[in-house]
Structure 1
Amino acid sequence: MLKGIPSILSPELLKVLMEMGHGDEIVIADGNFPAASHANRLLRCDGHGVPELLEAVLQLFPLDTYSEQPVALMAVVPGDQVETPIWRTYEELISRHMKPATEHMERFAFYERAKQAYAIVATSEKALYANIILKKGVIS
């Protein structure tokens, strides 16, 4: 154990966050996301939801201030009658660190971008459309 590091962050996830450089992206995926088939590096965080993991990651992970939209969400498929209250939770968490600047990506475009991500973190999140991509910034 170390001081000041949220206990939800595993040693493996901490290592990945440290390895990532400016502009690298990480996906925190819900339980329905095809993480294993899309990941270059797959990290499992079974039993945890995206909001609690996002809150912990953002304590250590600088978002890219040089990017207009350092956060991406999977857009709801047209015609799908799904409510996405979890997005408001994400905005609240992100706003503690910077002004939320989020883009909404079409489902298959999101999948393609996720394949290029440095890592994908698979969670047990049950909310639909709860996937989020974070672009790493610099510490100034």
Structure 2
Amino acid sequence: MLKTACLHTEILNVLSKCGHGDKVLIADGNYPIDSNTSKYVEKVYLNLTHGIPLVTDVLKVINEMIKIEKLEVMVPGDNTPPPIFNDFNEIVSSVDHLEKLGRFEFYEACKEENIKLAIATGEQRIYANILLTVGVVQK
């Protein structure tokens, strides 16, 4: 039996192949994951039902598994940060700020070929999408 934060075989497989600079998208239940990601991205549909799992649940597990170098988020048109951004900052305390992208800028960023994994969640909070950049682990 594995003693790791994640037991999902597809997620484990893709994360094991990620290198420095590769990216992981954790998407809320409203994100159009099929039309706004690259054809090369591995898609994992964890969205069991409304609210299960939450983006923050998935982020906590991924944060235990990889070094996160950068966080990118989608901001509303009025630039008001949604409350979930505080949760993101608390979970990934190793990154000092969130890089804020407009909606269409975020969509374009998620279509790049270095996005290796896109995880769909049941998250219902709006603007709860986050793009993680894999960093380097130093021992």
TM-score scaled to structure 1, two decimals?
0.85
Aligned match of 1:49: 54
> Which amino acid in the other structure matches residue 74 of structure 2?
M
Could you tell me how far 1:83 is from its partner in structure 2?
Answer: 6.7
Q: Deviations over 1:36-75 (max 9, x none)?
A: 22232211112311001100100011012xxxxx100001
Distance 2:81 2:100 in 1: 14
Distance 1:12 1:52 in 2: 17
Distance 1:60 1:42 in 2: 18
Distance of aligned partners of 1:21 and 1:99 in 2 relative to their CA distance in 1, 3 Å threshold: closer
Aligned match of 1:60: 65
Secondary structure of residue in 2 paired with 1:110: helix
Distance 1:50 1:78 in 2: 23
Between Structure 1 and Structure 2, which shows a larger proportion of helix residues? 1
Distance 1:99 1:27 in 2: 16
Distance 2:100 2:13 in 1: 28
Identify the match of residue 131 of structure 1 among 125, 129, 132.
129
Aligned-residue Cα RMSD (Å) equals 1.7
Could you tell me how far 1:124 is from its partner in structure 2?
Answer: 0.5
Secondary structure of residue in 1 paired with 2:111: helix
Distance 1:115 1:128 in 2: 20
Q: Which blocks of at least 5 consecutive residues in structure 1 are unaligned?
A: 65-69
Aligned match of 2:101: 105
Structure 1 ranges of 4+ moved more than 4 A? none
Q: Which blocks of at least 5 consecutive residues in structure 2 are unaligned?
A: none
Distance of aligned partners of 1:83 and 1:113 in 2 relative to their CA distance in 1, 3 Å threshold: closer
Distance 2:96 2:25 in 1: 17
